[in-house]
Amino acid sequence: MPGATHFEEGAEEYDSARPPYPQALWDRLRMLGLLESGLTALDLGAGSGQATGPLLAAGMRVTAIEPGRRLATLLEAAHPAPRVIASRAEGVELPAGRFDLAVAATSVHWLDLDIMLPKISTTLAPNGRFAVWRNVFGDADAPQTPFRSRVAGIVAARHAPERPGPPAEDLAAMTEALTARGLFVVEDVSTYRWTVDLDAAAIGRLFRTFSDWSPAEVEQAVAAVKHLGGSVIEHYSSWLLVLAPTRRR
């Protein structure tokens, strides 16, 4: 099973292929008072800046931690303002009481929660919050399309072991994992549904960024799109968890 550094192999493709987070998610963070000019944010597993960019656009002061050096370089090129630390978050010393918001955007499943949850709780400022969200590439509640039937068949035929830990896309499983140690409680939860039209080339670029998809499986997905007419409408969803440290409750 590839690790988080899988993304280093195709950093430029990852940067261009991953779709942005829905605007409604950012609107929710703003409504909760977490996306305000002058606040400090810690972006954990920042990638090439899919969350860092909007945080900066809101006027926040951002520290971004990204273990992949090529991704960190892309982040710095696109967004010169944040402090970028090219390291695994587990090895970074985080000052106490520094950040108003800690963010893990489609990255929390790569973090060692035994190490990171205490560190995040400590580094949050008074009234600070931990926001965890991700895009789910395949909305289980949407009608199954012919392409999604093909994808399900590809996944069912694989023999690779599943990634350890809670299912990364499962909101309930991740909620339990993030609150089981008693350091955080859920303050707000929201979900968003959206669609995107992708041709065969775009499916190839996107699916190559998935760490649990082999090159042969990606080619099968690309072939399925071509067989289905050259483009498909993908039904995706996103979820957002906002957690409060229990030490201040």
Domain CATH number, residue 17: 3.40.50.150
Q: Is 193 exposed, middle or buried (0-12, 13-18, 19+ CB in 10 A)?
A: middle
- Number of folded domains in the chain? 1
Confirm whether 106 is domain-assigned: yes
Confirm whether 18 is domain-assigned: yes
Confirm whether 123 is domain-assigned: yes
The parent domain of residue 188 ranges over 4-137+164-194+237-248
Confirm whether 25 is domain-assigned: yes
Q: Is the pTM of this model over 0.85?
A: yes
- Condensed to tens digits (0 to 9), the pLDDT of residues 192-237 reads 999 999 999 999 999 998 888 899 999 999 999 999 999 999 999 9
Confirm whether 65 is domain-assigned: yes
Confirm whether 228 is domain-assigned: no
Of residues 158 and 233, the one with the higher pLDDT is 233
Confirm whether 205 is domain-assigned: no
H or E stretch at 190 = strand 184-199
First to last CA, the chain: 39
Confirm whether 149 is domain-assigned: no
Average pLDDT of the chain is: 90
